[in-house]
Structure formats: C-alpha cells, structure tokens
Amino acid sequence: MDVIELMEKELLRRNYSLRTIETYLFCLNKFLKFCKKDFKKINKQDIKDYLDKLIDKKVSGSTINVHLNALKFLFEEILNKKLTIKIKYSRTPKTLPIFLTKEEIIRLIGSIENYKHKLMIKTLYSAGLRVSELVNLKVKDLEFENNYGWVRRGKGNKDRLFIIAASLKDELLKYIKDNNLEHDSSLFTSYNGSMSVRSVQEIIKKAAKKSKINKKIHPHTLRHSYATHLIENGYDLTSVQSLLGHNNLNTTMIYLHIAPKKFINVKSPLDDLKLEDNDKNLSYGDKNINVISSVN
C-alpha cells in the first residue's frame, strides 16, 4: 500500500470532508514529486525544503498553510513522527470581499432565462450557500413545513441549518413536483447526473456578463452579498455567524465593511447632552488658565 492510499484511508477513517481529503492528497502528490524519496525516509528537512520552495515561488500564505497542514498530517499521523516547523512568509493581505448591491442581485438573477438555472441562483443567494453545498442538496434536506433546510456535511464536515426564503418556497415545491423528484433525489441535476460546481460557475459568469455588472463575480460573491445584506437589514453578527456556519465570530465581522453606510445617520451621544457654552470663550494659549484633569 503506497503512502497516498495510506493517507486517504486514514483521512476517511477520521471522517474528514471529501474536499479536505482531495486537497491533502493533492498537496501530498506535489510534495512527493519534489522529494522523490521513500516515504518512510522523509524527514523534517525535506518538508522544510519543500515549503521554502513554495515561498520562493511567491505562493500565498494561505496556500502554504494548507500544504503545511497536509504534510503535518502525513508526518504525525502516518509516519508517527513529531513535526514542528517555524517558517516565515508574507501573508496575503486581507481584502474586503466583493459583494453585489441588492439592485445588482436583481439584475443578475433577472438576466437568467433558463428557469432551473434561475431557481438555482436564487437558492444559492437566498440561503448564503457555498456552491458545493448547493450542488449536493437533496430534496430530503428541505423541511418546508418548518421553512428551513439542512446543509449536510458542509465545510468542516458539519451540518448547518439554512433559511428557505418565503418567496422561494412555492417555487421549489412546484419544481420538485414538476420534475417528479423523489425524497432521496438531488435537488438540482444535469442531463448526465448531478449538477457540477463548474456548471454553476458558468451560469453566474454568463449572467454577470449579460447584466453588465462591472465586478468580478463568482458563486461565492452571492454568499458575501447574502451576509452583507443581512447586516444591512439590521441582523446581529451572531445570527449571521450561525447562518454562515463560521466557527469564529471574527470571520463574520468582515461583513461590517458596510458599517459606514449603515451608521452614517447615527448621532453622537454628545449631541444629546445639554452642555453650557461657558468654555467657548476659553483661550487655550492663555497662560492664566489652569486645566486640571483627573483620570480614574
């Protein structure tokens, strides 16, 4: 049994998500092409040399972290060796996510003529789903009587609840009925089976071009837009965090980039204080004025 098969079996045994397994195996393949040694003889320096090569190639910090985590799993869980590596690299600067305004969402969805495609994109936006979560949805994941659905084994291998938009409920029920979809059926399929992530990307790419929105738009843009619009509508961060499935509230806080627009009409509490204007005639250059301040 080779090391790739060993690692795959161990990842499956520990119930890692399929996406993480694919990523780790990809990283391992890249490393083995670089190292070209029997995996039992791999040492800490081999891994450090490989990561240094990635750094030299100006690979992003997040990508380096993924490779490091994959190789750390190999080293510690497959080879049963301890791995501690401190590497210095330039982290990719954090930028605010691109999102669409509500008017742009209307234009984007309105430009899609195919009924099923339009329903897919409306579902993607309405629930803040990742594209992989959309294509993996099954009819049984939708609890229409409760107006919510479930993402099963999403990112981090977690189940997550999402809202079924009231305006979308009847459309989805009609779509399921018209297509004779069974309880265990995938919600959205193509002529040759399951709908692919690539297909959804193409639908959005064409819609963005047709609607003439001058932004770089991809499926995740709709998730960013969903979160932004929730905050614009006055929902608190912890509610948005739960709906997005974020482990850390700091991840959700990035959507406060709309705060200046939201809080532009907020009055300072100073404006509600009825202060006397006795200090208006003070001259701060006057040597005869003694200013006493106390800090508690």
Active site residues: 130, 155, 220, 223, 246, 255
Q: Write the DSSP string, the chain.
A: --HHHHHHHHHHHTT--HHHHHHHHHHHHHHHHHH-S-GGG--HHHHHHHHHHHHHTT--HHHHHHHHHHHHHIIIIIS----------PPPPP-PPP---HHHHHHHHHT--SHHHHHHHHHHHHHT--HHHHHT-BGGGEEGGGTEEEE-S-GGG--EEEE--HHHHHHHHHHHHHTT--TTSBSSEETTEEPPHHHHHHHHHHHHHHHT--S---HHHHHHHHHHHHHHTT--HHHHHHHHT-SSHHHHGGGGGGHHHHHTTPPPGGGGS---SGGGG--TT-TT--------
Nearest residue to 47 via CA among 78, 63, 69, 71: 71
Q: In what order do the strands lie in the sheet with 142-143?
A: 142-143, 148-151, 160-163
